[in-house]
Amino acid sequence: MQLADILYSQGFGTRRSCAGLIETGAVEVLDASGIWHVAAADDSRVGDYPAEGLHFRVQGQEWVCRMKAYIMLHKPAGTECSQKPSAHPSIFSLLPSPLRLRPHKGGALGVQAVGRLDQDTTGLLLLSDDGSFIHRMSSPKKHVAKVYEVTTKHPLGEAQVQQLLAGVVLDDDPAPVKAAAAECVSTHHLRLTLTEGKYHQVKRMLAAVSNRVESLHRSQMGGLKLPEDLLPGQWRYLSEHELLQVQAR
């Protein structure tokens, strides 16, 4: 694969501008012996390296080529899951520009959020440029479990928990909505597991049982838990094992 095409696929600009980066000596490639060398303008192919996993630097910024990006982000409070936020900073501002600019089918640029969290909700958020993965993780038909840590305004009672498990009616949907699991961790801490995603669902479900959400944090998706060492605002790529975990039921 041509080096300019690799740079383009990773979000470092148009094919022409990527070729210009190579011509001006702004691109370095890590060879098989672990030595960095400046890519020459006539170096149309990257030796015997496959594109996937190629280490390179663009104007000093080190990068590893991934043909598909799978990312976990610890979403902080006061951020919006939109590329065009209305009142708060975008979670996309926490990512390096190549991840926001890499092209993919459909014309959209950059990685996309797998579902959304409200601006005041914190926790595990996935992003990817793999459309099939995004659909698989977001579709209510796939029943991907999402675990939320809910701090409530009023003390929790067993009757409220049983109501959530049995199903509550939200104001715009006559069909009862059930929690897949619900556990009182303490008097004001509920661990709630859902397999569908409706607008403000957790807040509306708690309101339906005469309580109120004071804070909301998503701690798990599928079999993947938010790592304790991933601090608010930080992100990293999913490992192969984590990618399998998040898709496990």
The CATH architecture assigned to 70-141+224-246 reads 2-Layer Sandwich (3.30)
- Residue 172: predicted pLDDT: 72
Residue of 216, 218, 221, 152 lying closest to 187 (CA atoms): 152
| CATH code for the structural domain at 145-221 | 3.30.70.1560
- pLDDT tens for 30-60 read 988 999 999 887 655 544 556 899 999 999 9
Beta bridge partners of 192: 148, 182
- pLDDT tens for 64-107 read 999 999 999 999 999 999 988 888 999 999 999 999 999 977 67
- pLDDT tens for 143-201 read 899 999 999 999 999 999 999 999 999 987 788 999 999 999 999 999 999 998 888 89
- pLDDT tens for 119-141 read 999 999 999 999 999 999 988 78
- pLDDT over 60 (residue 207): yes
Alpha helices in 152-224 (DSSP H): 158-166, 201-208
- Residue 45: predicted pLDDT: 54
- Residue 181: predicted pLDDT: 97
Residue 118 known to be catalytic: yes
- Indicate the pTM of the whole model: 0.91
- Candidate list 5, 43, 118, 130, residue with the active-site label: 118
| CATH code for the structural domain at 3-64 | 3.10.290.10
Give residue limits of the domains in the chain.
3-64, 70-141+224-246, 145-221
Same fold for the pair 70-141+224-246 and 145-221: yes
**What is the separation, in whole angstroms, between the first and last Cα of the chain?**
37
| Cα 29 from Cα 36, distance rounded (Å) | 5
- Residue 28: predicted pLDDT: 94
